[in-house]
Structure 1
Amino acid sequence: MMRLVRYCMGAAMFASACTPALKLTPSDAPTVLAHQVLEAADPGLPGPYEVLQLYYGSGTDKNRVEYRDSVAITTEPVDASKLVSLGGAADSRNEYWGFTPTEMPLNARVWYPKGDGPFPLVLVVHGNHSMRDFSDPGYDYLGELLASRGYILASVDENFINGARGENDARGWFLLKHLGEFEHFNEEEGNPFEGKVDMSNVALIGHSRGGEAVANAAAFNKLTHYPDDASLTFDFDFDIKGIVSIAPVDGQYLPTGRGVVVEDMSYLTFHGSHDGDVTSFHGLRIYDRLRFNDSADFRFKAAVYVYRANHGQWNSVWGSGDIGPRSARTLDLRGLIPQVDQRRFAEIYVSSFMEVVLKGRLEYLPIFRDHRVIGQWLPSTMYITRFETNAFRPLATFEEDIDVTRGTEDGVSLRGVSLSTWREATLMLRSSNRPTTSASQENQAVTLGWNNRIAGADTTRHRPAASYSVELGGRLAARWALGRQHSLEFMLGPTDSTPRARRDASQPAATSAQNDDGSGRGGAGRARGRDDLEMPAVDLSIQLEDAAGRTSSVVLSEYGAIRRPLETHVMRRSDQECQRCTAPWELILQTYSIPLSDFVEQNAALDLRQLSVIRFLFDRVHAGEVVVDQIGISELEPGFLSARVER
């Protein structure tokens, strides 16, 4: 809270000043991205196929010459009037486009490989933008790449509903109608796609509002009726294997007042820290709601936070102007990574996802477990990543109740020793522009703070290290048949707070003129934040203990970077930043995946079948604070571990 007060006070002081000095967290990319251990071919490079292109659509488009004069396949319009409301702008919009919501077109540009096929099908859809600055050409780089690698990619035109409100359900519905067209193309004699479309392997990609739309489409695909008006019936049921949300919104469509839940498919989402349009990583909420109901059918979900990426550079038409042509007047664009780098990241991750989900190329799985395995492929910036598979079995997710000592799995208990901070709470997003849908991650986690130093002038005096334990109880390890093939997984991220030193219980309590840390009047209850001092790196040990008291520990930093929140300033003026965002950073937790075999290598006597305690041991630095979530065990698909960065 004090950090936020200082942040906003500083903004007020400099409200009328020129653009402040550029503030970025120093990059650790030269160290973190120093490895290249994945031996598979670079998925971001073109494949062996010659790429062809065509357009399909109404053939009568008033504003789009490609959808009027260049269509190779003519499609019939659809009635979207129950999903699209144009409000007071209806007359002018209908005049501009030459049609109403009762007869909206199914237009798309398609990149496809030359060959007999059948080829997996990928649809991509843009988000909201000026309806006159057409967005669908902006994914040409993905179309060219994926078609060369043996996919059919169609970039769907939904420009005619851009600028509308409450239309994200329609965006998803349109994608399903396009899938229906491809089903017809595949069966129609003489059609350019006759027999070439693998309708059993389908994926959807969406950007911005389109990123929420693909989740809506995935949900609608399994429904029989439109949730907002059951007089509209659905009959889709396509074989959608995965969806990708690029810098998505979330919560703009809330059927029955609830967020859409995606079930039983793989998911990838990524977001830039310097997004000037969708200022928070809303894809994390879609990620958290996604459910895997069948533990036997392999699926996974992954999320990546890309430092210094923005919103528009994922689309080659939009570019750096996240809030329109005059963005440079309001947004501080100096810290952005180059557009070619941002697109390079998208090419690697989208292509890898499609290779795994649509082609079963499991050699690309390590990318999603630990991005460090492809450090030499990735653009030089910082990444925070998370993943989870359908095999994840939770021990503590912090969602069940208000008892901080009880875990998720029956019999699991939680215990803290010598912690300065121990509390469970909802994680927040930095965006404050829409409190009802933008301010919360809608996810609970535990915050743990420690300071092992004893207050006083002698800074060498320390008590035993603080710890936080997950106690399995009973015969859980035996019931789960834990062994070397399993991994311990959790999400963790440091905050920029540090609890003060512990008071020496043998000494009298501090007077009003003397604080517990020995400082004079006015000292804070927490150590100074990054505005005052360069804070030391956070690290800790992860320790396992079996029923016989045998222990084994590893150092967490050997499994991935542990970073405090990354400094993020999007607006040119600090006062505008403070009005728009609650903090100059977003707390994004990193997934750490530690094979249980690593603990056995440290102590061969450790009996995993009698594992009794998983302990977060705060013994590497004397003080710090971290947020932890999703503690559990997975038996990973072996492909995830086929490439690892050495400890």
Structure 2
Amino acid sequence: MTPSSAPRAAGAALLALVFAGSLAACAAPLTLAKDDAATVLARQTLTAPDPGARGPLAVRTLTYGSGTDRRRAGFRDSVTMKTRSVDASPFVSMEPAMAASRKKYWGFDAKAFPINGRVWYPEGPGPFPLVLVVHGNHDPKDFSDPGYAYLGEHLASRGYILASVDENFLNGALRNENDARGWMLLEHLKAWRRFADSVDSPLRGKVDLRNIALMGHSRGGEAVAVAAAFNRLRHYPDDATVTFDYGFDIKALVAIAPIDGQYRPAGQPTPLENVSYLVVHGSHDGDVSSYSGLRQWDRVRFTDGGPWFKSAVWMYRANHGQWNTNWGNKDNGKLSARNLDLRGLIAPEAQRQMALVFMGAFLDASLKGKREYLPLFRDHRAAGQWLPKAMYQTAYADASMHPMTAFEGRIDVTRGAAPGITLRGDSLSTWRENEVPMRWRDNTYRMWGAWLGWNNAPAPARRPAGDTTRARSTAMQAAVSTSGAGRARPDTAKPSGAKRAPATLEVTLPDSLRRAWGVGAQSAVVLTLVPTRDVPGPRKTARDSTRRDTTSARQAARRGPTPFARLASVGRAVVRRVPGLRPKAKVTPPDTTPLDLTVELVDAAGHVAPLSLAAYGPVRRPLEIRVLRRPERDRENFRTTFELVPQTFVMPVQDFAAAAPGFDPGSVRAVRLKFDRTEKGTVILTSLGIGAARP
């Protein structure tokens, strides 16, 4: 370092320290929910091989592409198999200046997009299932496709061919281009048809095109759903003059922190049916900061009786970028250090290990028929020794499930999913249907649920009718006798101590459906719900709402406020205006105690078999999420500081029968949710049905 440069370096170092100090001053104390992983993940019931462990096969690599790439030598000088460019102009629209700038950088425009990919494949004769993975939007000059090498190495060692697809030329400031991203995946699959058959291909005979999976991250996570939808169409939905001819055997989709709705075919949400689907998302995602992939998960339908299933996995403290080694922890680019609070993020190695476990098990189950891995998705606690110690929320459904509820905002909340199924609530404080809100403002999952609130607190003591002495005394206290904080002393009436019957929701099943569905010992109750932070007030007794009380209230309203009430009003006004008397705002921390409730089955003879819901998975209240460094920014940008994340519970009918001797599992008449294990709370029930006890 020269003498002249020393002062500049010292000044730069001082400026960096000042900047770091200012950032630290802006950041609030780190706020994270208490981790219960040591308890929740304490067991291991799955005996299959760990899907997160490297497999026994040696791994080789190659690239395919245009052979003329201006920016990357790997797609110019080192391609093993050359590919033809494709005309993507029907799917990509951009201003002339942007088009010219991109062509100058890349050397091609939308009429000549290249088919480039990096491949990891196992040594051996094969054939091996084919997996394509595609990145999402990122700085186009910071190439994203190498960031999935860890997935390629891992899956190839376990008997898969993985290709990381290059779509960097679609990154940057483009909008509404996800149809192009999905279409490009299908054009890659066309190239793979040639790779599998060509006599000059090192992959000839190694590619199992009957078992294909598509994986995508961020915008790529939506693109895989678009590709699966286009794969079954003969025409482009937004311009039917563009024809399709694909028909690949795409059997599984993996969406990593995807967006949803950037592209809407013919203005509609992308439909999906008869394909297995996995979505993973992180709570502390600084880019796609709400669980938007749950929308697509909810839209997946199974209609042909195939072996399909769908799973949604939410990982607490995971972010957006750490699933790609090139992206890292800065979810919104270079400004992340200023905007995002990175202190609470889980280690990148743990986040990627979670991906290896869930994605490895998912592909083994959906492409290789290894159904022994399905318990991981039905209850993630079954693989507690495989998973990194973190908190997970998992939702699950498969083709065996017969829904009993269908929450779609119906006027009649007592109607079930099929004729003859009815819902009946008793003593509920809240019972209504609505869309489940997302953390993003003014957004929902477009998933409906039933809000069920209860408060079983003992009834307050009632005073004899006409006793106004205590009421007058209380009014006087409010006016002239305040505590040190300026608040009136509360009414100290004690509860009567009388216990109330717990609130319930009962869903009845007619005999005809029970027989048609084959409900019995081999079945399971499958319900998905999410607790909220809402706590209803004490529910009213019948006496609280008698005509006599209502009439008295109307008479009091006509008479106007009593002198004591007017005096109380004056006292409250004084408290509000005098700074020394004004009470300080008190922030009540959210209740984080896990909920529990009883699920009961009732047979035709009236025998009741009860089980605790918490025995089949964690019933967590919403976990605290702070993504941004400054707390006020979290409040400005998001509806809440938590996300409502559904959890699925699979409860075998055999377990109910074991809990209640005399219960007949072949004559189930009703499923009852009994809110008796937590005094008060609210849950959103998104689905309830009967499925298979064993996957």
- Contact 1:529/1:535, CA 8 A, preserved across alignment: no
The 5 Å alignment of 1:399-548 reads 399=408, 401-432=410-441, 435=442, 439-456=443-460, 457-458=494-495, 460-506=497-543, 531-532=588-589, 534-548=591-605
| Distance (whole Å) between structure 1 residues aligned to residue 382 and residue 417 of structure 2 | 32
**Could you say if the C-alpha distance between residues 165 and 149 of structure 1 is closer, same or farther in structure 2, counting changes exceeding 3 Å?**
same
Give the one of 107, 118, 137 matched to 1:109. 118
| Distance (whole Å) between structure 1 residues aligned to residue 171 and residue 368 of structure 2 | 33
SS in 2 for 1:150: coil
2:225 maps to 1:168: no
SS in 2 for 1:34: coil
The one-letter amino acid of 1:74's match is: K
The equivalent residue for 2:245 is 235
What is the Cα deviation at residue 535 of structure 1? 4.9
| Distance (whole Å) between structure 2 residues aligned to residue 337 and residue 593 of structure 1 | 28
The 5 Å alignment of 1:202-213 reads 202-213=212-223
Of the structure 1 ranges 455-464 and 139-148, higher mean CA displacement relative to structure 2 is found in 455-464
Of the structure 1 ranges 529-538 and 38-47, higher mean CA displacement relative to structure 2 is found in 529-538
SS in 2 for 1:463: coil
The equivalent residue for 1:255 is 265
SS in 1 for 2:681: strand
2:231 maps to 1:246: no
2:160 maps to 1:151: yes
What is the Cα deviation at residue 210 of structure 1? 0.2
TM-score by length of structure 2 reads 0.85
What is the Cα deviation at residue 251 of structure 1? 0.2
CA deviations on 1:25-78 (whole Å, 9 max, x unpaired) are 101111101011211111111111111001110111011111111111111100
Give the one of 589, 610, 625 matched to 2:682. 625
The 5 Å alignment of 1:602-613 reads 602-613=659-670
Question: Which sections of structure 2, spanning at least 5 residues, go unmatched?
Answer: 1-22, 461-493, 554-560, 566-571, 574-584
| Distance (whole Å) between structure 2 residues aligned to residue 538 and residue 609 of structure 1 | 30
- Contact 2:521/2:666, CA 8 A, preserved across alignment: no
The equivalent residue for 1:339 is 348
- Contact 2:449/2:685, CA 8 A, preserved across alignment: yes
SS in 2 for 1:230: strand
SS in 2 for 1:492: strand
- Contact 1:282/1:441, CA 8 A, preserved across alignment: yes
SS in 2 for 1:594: strand
SS in 2 for 1:71: coil
2:35 maps to 1:35: no
What is the Cα deviation at residue 443 of structure 1? 0.9
CA deviations on 1:565-584 (whole Å, 9 max, x unpaired) are 11111011122212221100
| Distance (whole Å) between structure 1 residues aligned to residue 351 and residue 300 of structure 2 | 26
| Distance (whole Å) between structure 2 residues aligned to residue 209 and residue 316 of structure 1 | 17
User: Percent identity, aligned pairs only?
Assistant: 50
Of the structure 1 ranges 391-400 and 103-112, higher mean CA displacement relative to structure 2 is found in 391-400
What is the Cα deviation at residue 473 of structure 1? 3.4
SS in 2 for 1:543: strand
- Contact 1:371/1:385, CA 8 A, preserved across alignment: yes
The equivalent residue for 2:375 is 366
The one-letter amino acid of 1:126's match is: H
Give the one of 48, 65, 83 matched to 2:56. 48
2:298 maps to 1:288: yes
The one-letter amino acid of 2:162's match is: L
The equivalent residue for 2:14 is none
| Distance (whole Å) between structure 1 residues aligned to residue 508 and residue 544 of structure 2 | 34
- Contact 1:496/1:529, CA 8 A, preserved across alignment: no
What is the Cα deviation at residue 493 of structure 1? 1.3
| Distance (whole Å) between structure 2 residues aligned to residue 539 and residue 582 of structure 1 | 26
| Distance (whole Å) between structure 2 residues aligned to residue 365 and residue 443 of structure 1 | 24
- Contact 1:451/1:500, CA 8 A, preserved across alignment: yes
What is the Cα deviation at residue 479 of structure 1? 3.2
CA deviations on 1:354-406 (whole Å, 9 max, x unpaired) are 11111111221111111001112111110000110011111102127221111
What is the Cα deviation at residue 156 of structure 1? 0.2
| Distance (whole Å) between structure 1 residues aligned to residue 53 and residue 187 of structure 2 | 31
| Distance (whole Å) between structure 1 residues aligned to residue 496 and residue 626 of structure 2 | 35
**Could you say if the C-alpha distance between residues 308 and 230 of structure 1 is closer, same or farther in structure 2, counting changes exceeding 3 Å?**
same
Query: What do you get for the CA RMSD once the two structures are aligned?
Result: 2.2
Structure with greater Cα Rg: 2
- Contact 2:251/2:367, CA 8 A, preserved across alignment: yes
2:70 maps to 1:70: no
**Could you say if the C-alpha distance between residues 56 and 405 of structure 1 is closer, same or farther in structure 2, counting changes exceeding 3 Å?**
same
CA deviations on 1:585-621 (whole Å, 9 max, x unpaired) are 1101100110011111112322233322210001112
- Contact 1:146/1:152, CA 8 A, preserved across alignment: yes
* Equivalenced residues, count: 608
**Could you say if the C-alpha distance between residues 531 and 108 of structure 1 is closer, same or farther in structure 2, counting changes exceeding 3 Å?**
farther
What is the Cα deviation at residue 462 of structure 1? 2.1
CA deviations on 1:474-525 (whole Å, 9 max, x unpaired) are 54323322111011111111111211223455579699999xxxxxx99xxx
- Contact 1:303/1:387, CA 8 A, preserved across alignment: yes
The 5 Å alignment of 1:125-136 reads 125-136=134-145
What is the Cα deviation at residue 143 of structure 1? 0.2
| Distance (whole Å) between structure 1 residues aligned to residue 520 and residue 33 of structure 2 | 40
| Distance (whole Å) between structure 1 residues aligned to residue 587 and residue 126 of structure 2 | 56
**Could you say if the C-alpha distance between residues 583 and 155 of structure 1 is closer, same or farther in structure 2, counting changes exceeding 3 Å?**
same
| Distance (whole Å) between structure 1 residues aligned to residue 94 and residue 499 of structure 2 | 66
The one-letter amino acid of 2:249's match is: D
Q: After TM superposition, what 4+ stretches of structure 1 lie above 4 angstroms from structure 2?
A: 504-514
The equivalent residue for 2:322 is 313
2:232 maps to 1:222: yes
TM-score by length of structure 1 reads 0.91
CA deviations on 1:63-103 (whole Å, 9 max, x unpaired) are 11111111111111000011112324111111000001001
SS in 2 for 1:55: strand
Question: Which sections of structure 1, spanning at least 5 residues, go unmatched?
Answer: 1-14, 515-520, 523-527, 641-647
CA deviations on 1:283-342 (whole Å, 9 max, x unpaired) are 1111111111112x2110000011000000010000001000221110000110000000
Give the one of 622, 628, 653 matched to 1:565. 622
Give the one of 80, 98, 103 matched to 1:94. 103
